[in-house]
Every structure is written in C-alpha cells, then in structure tokens.
Chains A and B, each alone.
Chain A
Amino acid sequence: MLRVRGLTVGFGGEPILEDIDLEVRAGEFVSLLGPSGSGKTSILRAVTGLLHAREGSVELDVDAAHVGFLFQDDALLPWRTARQNVALGLRIRGAPVEEAERRADEWLGSLGLAGLGGRYPRQLSGGQRKRVAIAQVLALEPRLLLMDEPFAALDAIVRARLTQELLGWVEREHLTVLLVTHDLEEAIAASDVVYVLSQGPRASVKGRYEVAIERPRTLLESHRHPAFAPLMTRLWDDLSGEPVAASATLAP
C-alpha cells in the first residue's frame, strides 16, 4: 500500500530524517514510535506531499484521493458548522451540497454526534471536535489512513474511548493505517507492526517489530495478551538506548 525508500527530509542544514525505509502493507495497522522531535510528523507530511523529500521516494498504491490524514490538532474551519466541516471534503470531490450535508449528518451520527451538526467548532468540546475531525476524514472513505498523534490533546478517558472506537472501525472496514505516536502502549495495543525511530536530527529507523496479537482485539485484551509485556520491554529498551529524553518522552 505504501513504501518509503531512503527518505531524507530537511530544510537546508542538517536533515530531520535520514534514509528512512518503511513499508505499510494493505490491511496493516502500522505505528511509527519515536521520541518527540524525531521528525515522525515529517514522514506523514512527506507521504501526503505537504513536504518535499530531499532524497528518496514515497510510493503509494492508492490514489491520493483515497488517503485520509487525521491531524494532531483539531483545527476545523471555525466559520463552518460541524456538518459543513464534514461535508467539505465530499463537496470538494464534487458531491452536491444537499447530498454532502446529508452524508455528513450520517457520519456525525455514527460518531455519536447526532443533532450537533449545526454547531460551530467553538460550541463543541475537545472530544466532540475530534470526532468531527474523524468524521471529516472517514466520510471520504479513505483506504489508507494517516494519523498524527490524533488524540494527544485529549484527557485519558476520552482518549481511550476514541482509540477503541477507531480501532473497531479500522478492523471492520479493513483500513490500512499508519499511526505516528510517542505512546508505547498505544502503539503495541493497536498495531500489527511498530517501527521505532531514533532521536532527531538525522532520525532513522532503529527497529521494526511485529505484534503477535490476533484480531479483532480491544485495547484491554491487548494489554493482557502474553505477547504484550515482552514486546513492551524490548521496545522500551530500544527507546531507552537513546541518549536524550527517552524517559521524558515516554511519559504520557
């Protein structure tokens, strides 16, 4: 689905990322785990073309229109209602306004926001805004979903709930996912494959780990699975080998 080969990214001077290789196969949930400042986000930005690679290549098996990008913050258009925000992508793809807004309402409903379509982002809570942002991306029915620490700003309970819902969604719809995170437990619990990045600048892939936990799974079951703890220890060791800030960035 997605292959990154020898990717080097940077603006003049020292590159942020150097010689990154990674692969996401169709139907896989892949996490990119790394300390803050390791340039994880830059990889996603390079995949979507928001950022130009200095060297290397990004190969996508799907059309750009089938790639969804869920950002870290929930910057919705403040002057558009929740419904209009969700409908925006559909309208850009040519759906007439009425149809786009009807489908937007359906998506809001399936994300537990029925009846809130007429609200402006300012009138929604952080968790609700995040759900609108998810609806906005899922409404385009992406085949590859890129996520940049999407729930980092939410409190622990909302975060766990949303992660679980999204996981269920991904499994049902057989979505392919590339998730960027600094949360070790989240990475293991949700993924099939975890890539560990070294501290930047000149961050590179330090290791690739397969998670041998069968699907479908829930976050709770994953944590109790016998494979969880040993993998956690290996990843922890890998990250702790980093000279700077490894322990700091592992804090939630």
Chain B
Amino acid sequence: MVLLALWETLSRVGWLDPFYAPSPAAVGRVIGTLFADPDFWTHLRATFVAAFAGLLGGLLLGVLLGFAAALSPLLADLLEPVMILLNAIPRVILAPLFVIWLGIDLASKVALALILVTVLIFFAVYGGIKEVDQRLVERVRTLGGGRRVLIREVYVPSVTAWVMGNLKIAVGFAFTGAVVGEFVASSRGLGYLLQFAQSTYNAALTIALIVLIMAFVLVLFAAAERLERHLLRWRYGPG
C-alpha cells in the first residue's frame, strides 16, 4: 500500500517517466478498459482453457506415469531418465518446438502447460509411492488386506497427499506454460496481449496484464488451498 502510494506520488510530481513507469491510476484505467472490451474476454478464456487443460491433463498423466513407474521397475527405468532430463532443463525452451509441431493454436499452449505439470506431478507421485510408510503397508496386510485394499487404503491417500502438496505449484506451472506458449507465438490469450503490449512499448498495458495474471493466479491458489484443506482434512483438522 505504502509502495503504491509512493509510486503514485512520484508519478504525479513527474519524477517517474510515465512512458516507462505509468502511475497506478493509469494502470487501473487500462485494467478498466480491458474488462470493458469484449475481445479481452476471448483472450482471457483462451489462456484459462489452455492452462486448465494443461493442468488437468498434466495431473492425470503425471499420476498415471508416476503410478506406472512405481509399480513396474521396467517402466521406471524407461521413464526416470526422461523425466530427470525434462526436470533439469528449463522446460519452456520446448515452446518453439511445440509451435512448429502443433501450430500456433491452443494445442501448443496446452502441450507446454501439460509438460510442465506432468514432470512435477510425476516426481511427486513416484517419490510419494516409494516413500509410503511401510508400517502402514504391514498393518493392512496383517489385517488381511491384499493388493487392492493396499492401493485403496494406503497408496491412493498417500499419493493424494503428495499431489495436493504440489497442487499450488502445479497451478503456477500451468499458467506459466499457457502464457509463455502464447508469448512465443499465438493469436489469442493474455500472453499474446503481453507480447502485443511489449512490441508497442505500452508499459501501462504490460503492467496491467502482469497485475491481472498475478491476481488470477492468486485466486486459483486460494481455490487450490481450499481443495487441499478439504481433501487433507485429516492433516489440518482441529487438533
């Protein structure tokens, strides 16, 4: 708040060049015009669709691959090196490749968001299963539980805990993937608008978009947190 007031004051007295650092009021006005513009909603929807498709697909794929690798040593040998490599590199460098392969439409953005999320979730699930409390496994076995009961009572809840712990990071990753994908090449989306604002040296629009993206991600973080607290209520319930 203090920072915003200081920024506004410095802009008003003319110490800050509005070309580079427009005042918060100016940024606010731009945000207002954006919401009034029907085109903006198309862009917003494009980014959200890409991010959500990538998030859901990435969660699903990450969980499936993580389970597969944990249950089959052969698959683990195949998947682990690929995942380690993908984890080690800045995965956004794949964006140009996806554009060439999948075109500048939705598919390349989804693909980028998906790969960012998949790698994250894969390691959460794979690591989570390997670190499942063996005492719980023995307990269920001495109660007479077989493989199916073990998966339902021990593995799935353990993995849910690990995935939920990573959900907020995954939301961030999904948006990174979608926006960066749009930034690289697209005709729609917040990343496209950002690219447009940058190429026209429109600092007010650039800042407005950054603020909006942050706001959206924070709202999603809050939603992810609520979901986490609900699913992991055994961990967060009153003590």
Contact = CB atoms under 8 A, between A and B. Distances in A.
Contact of B141 (A50, A76, A81, A93): A50
Which secondary structure dominates where chain B touches chain A?
helix
How extensive is the interface on chain A, given as a class?
A: 20 to 34
A11 interface: no
Interface string A50-87: 10000000000000110001010101111111000000
Given A78-B234, A123-B238, A73 B135 contact: yes
Interface of B: 133, 135-136, 138-145, 149, 153-154, 157, 160-161, 232-235, 237-239
A75 B136 contact: yes
B140 A48 contact: no
Contacts of A75: 133, 135-136, 139
Given A48-B142, A121-B234, A140-B143, 13 more contacts: A71-B135, A71-B138, A75-B139, A76-B139, A77-B157, A79-B232, A79-B234, A80-B234, A89-B144, A92-B149, A120-B234, A122-B234, A122-B235
Contact of B143 (A73, A120, A136): A136
A88 B140 contact: yes
Interface of A: 48, 50, 64-65, 69, 71, 73, 75-81, 88-89, 92-93, 120-123, 136, 140
Which secondary structure dominates where chain A touches chain B?
loop
B139 A120 contact: no
B238 A80 contact: no
Nearest to B158: A79
A76 B133 CA distance: 11
Contacts of B238: 123
12 contacts: A50-B141, A71-B135, A71-B139, A75-B139, A76-B139, A79-B160, A79-B161, A88-B140, A92-B145, A120-B237, A121-B234, A123-B237
